[in-house]
Amino acid sequence: MNREPLPWHLLQSFAAISDTGSLSAAAKVLGSSQPTLSRHLTQLEERIGSRLFFRTSTGLTLTPEGAAVQAHADAMAKSAAQLSFKGQQTLSGTVRITASQIAATYLLPDMLVSLHTAHPDLALEVVATDQTENLLRREADLAVRMYRPTQNDLIAKKVGNLAIGIFAAHSYIERCGLPEHPSDLYHHSVIGYDRSTAIIDGMRQVGITVDRSFFTFRSDDQVVGWRMVQAGHGIGFNQTVIGQSDPNLVQLWPEIDIGALPVWLTAHQELRMSPRVRICFEHLASCFGAL
């Protein structure tokens, strides 16, 4: 048996597998992947020098050696929980969060205010970018993404879905009239992207075929595009939770499902074990889940 201390993340994966009885179920609990947990289990069995699970047709069950490891894992989890509770009273340090410009501008502020109120010694940094920040290079502690990250050895948890809506300012409707049907968009000013085809592809799904020249205002900066909607230039698209919070806007055809964006929180496995990062992770997960 290897006498070096066992990495805590291997024991965490082991405990989740033991609790759920399968790699796939444990992966869902931890917000990880089945291949990652399988690798963790293999590494732990190599460190212990024993098989820890019997593999049966109904799932995984503990071997006698596995049961012994389970007792130690339970004791460590209990100690970690106690330390976490104590540490939460005086959490301090910096947590760096990366999110899209839209999320950083319109969604994160209220969430981070409530986080700061609960933990005033935390220093928060936000990197507002639509470019992928590689957590493996420590460019951020946490990432809020509208897609599932694909990097290995990251903890990724889906925390919600944000529906997309179509919005126009009251000032625009007073000037140009209220479109009665989505096909009326052909006769209105619509705000779209410059190079991205995301809106064009989405409109095609509801039977409206356009190209880049259709949009009377174009920008790949989502905040700029949304400000043009608020200013009354034309009709635009955004997450309904953002659009519905603005009393100067009206949502067009809310009964039409034009899709939703999944929200994923991601952290490096080692950083996820930091009390301050874990608190931020869990706080944001709760806030996005409430949306």
pLDDT recorded at residue 89: 45
147: three-class secondary structure by DSSP: coil
* 91-161+262-290 shares its CATH topology with 162-259: yes
Predicted local distance difference test score (pLDDT) of residue 175: 97
Tokens of 222: 């989502």
Where in the chain are the domains?
Answer: 8-87, 91-161+262-290, 162-259
Average pLDDT for runs of 10 along the chain of length 291: 66 84 83 86 88 85 87 68 46 89 96 93 90 64 86 80 96 96 94 94 86 96 96 97 97 91 86 81 91 82
CATH topology of domain 91-161+262-290: D-Maltodextrin-Binding Protein; domain 2 (3.40.190)
Alpha carbons 49 and 46: distance in angstroms, whole number: 5
Residue with tokens 């493996």: 136
Please give the CATH architecture assigned to the domain spanning 162-259.
3-Layer(aba) Sandwich (3.40)
Task: Specify the CATH class of 8-87 in words.
Answer: mainly alpha
Contact 252, 176 (CB under 8 A): no
Q: pTM of the entire structure?
A: 0.67
